[in-house]
A and B are shown apart, each in its own frame.
Chain A
Amino acid sequence: DTEVTQTPKHLVMGMTNKKSLKCEQHMGHRAMYWYKQKAKKPPELMFVYSYEKLSINESVPSRFSPECPNSSLLNLHLHALQPEDSALYLCASSQDRGQEAETQYFGPGTRLLVL
């Protein structure tokens, strides 16, 4: 099973709402990632978890709050977002075995619209 799943597929939220994005993988990967992608642009890294610990935060605003409850699950909690946060949010996972830059496996993304 080489699949990363994400829910929901689409999300519309107001600027005062609180919502969460969910990501799941069952490949035994120990590194998990959140990316933000605007249309026809490359993904921009937001967060990296390694062995369920936050390892990289790319200076993301605090209105985005990641959580890694276990090695298979990754959440992104959203609160008080701005319209410019509308984007495709991608989750990815990879092995975390040592010294190699491992292949990242991406989910289908959640398309978020902030009104």
Chain B
Amino acid sequence: AQTVTQSQPEMSVQEAETVTLSCTYDTSENNYYLFWYKQPPSRQMILVIRQEAYKQQNATENRFSVNFQKAAKSFSLKISDSQLGDTAMYFCAFGRGGTSYGKLTFGQGTILTVHP
């Protein structure tokens, strides 16, 4: 079984600054994928970034980037130039490879507040 741990229940950052959300996971699988999802208050969950475990290069999407440390089983999310619209709950999630559908194992989430 997989576990995903997000050790920061809440974080806050000033607008335009950089913040890093941490995520660690435990698995015995070799073929897996990692995700960061964002759920703004009363709005739907959307994908922020997806990382294939077999790729060494860290995924990036505009102001969002990850630091994927496979040996350490760490998958942190860095948000640069934070904006008010980044205020949301962020979930780190693990998905097994070998099947294209199936259970995502979610962490408990980090509530991020961006202050003006």
Contacts and interface: CB of A to CB of B under 8 A. Distances in A.
B97 A50 contact: no
Contacts of A107: 44
Interface in B32-54: 32-33, 35, 37, 43-47, 50, 52
Contacts of A90: 44-45
Which interface class (under 10, 10 to 19, 20 to 34, 35 or more) fits A? 20 to 34
A66 B47 CA distance: 25
Chain A contact residues, majority secondary structure: loop
Most B C-beta atoms less than 10 A away, residue of A43, A56, A101: A101
Contacts of A94: 100-101
A55 B32 CA distance: 20
B111 A100 contact: no
Interface in A17-31: 31
Interface stretch (B17-25, B65-73, B76-84, B102-110): B102-110
A98 B31 CA distance: 13
B106 A43 contact: yes
Interface in A47-67: 48, 50, 55-56, 58
6 contacts: A94-B101, A97-B100, A101-B97, A102-B100, A104-B104, A106-B44
| 3 A-B pairs with least C-beta separation | A101-B95, A42-B106, A31-B101
